[in-house]
Amino acid sequence: MPRGAYKAARRFDLAFFVVANMKVDKLKVRPKKLAANAPCAAEFATVLACWASTSDIRSQTACLEQTKALRDCMATRRPKVNKSKPTVNYHLARFSKRV
């Protein structure tokens, strides 16, 4: 065993023993955060590919069809507005009742 590995393993065993033998009244598990999806990623990729093939980002006529598709996609698909997260003061006030 490498130096210090025994102590680390012993601490882990002790911590597991303490947690395993504790009574937990309420246990809350946070839901998994899903990976953010990019709704207009395909249209954006086609615009970038078109710009790369024409070697001119400023060309308006060559990539007109792709840019229009990207604009339409971005105009129709608005991201959902998330509720604002509670502030630190909210949590402090909530926990101060228990102390």
Domain ranges of the chain: 36-79
**Sequence letter at residue 52:** A
More confident residue, 26 or 9: 26
Percent helix / strand / coil, the chain, rounded to 5: 55, 0, 45
- Determine the pLDDT at residue 65: 92
* Tens-place pLDDT, residues 61-94: 888 999 999 999 988 877 666 677 677 877 777 7
Torsion angle (degrees, nearest 10) of CA 82, 87, 92, 93 = -80
CA distance 85 to 95: 16
Q: Which residues lie closer than 8 Å to 44 by C-beta, 6 or more apart?
A: 38, 70
DSSP element (H, E) containing 17: helix 5-20
Q: What is the CA radius of gyration of the chain?
A: 27
pLDDT score for 22:
59
Element (H, E) at 21: none
Greater confidence (54 vs 7) lies with 54
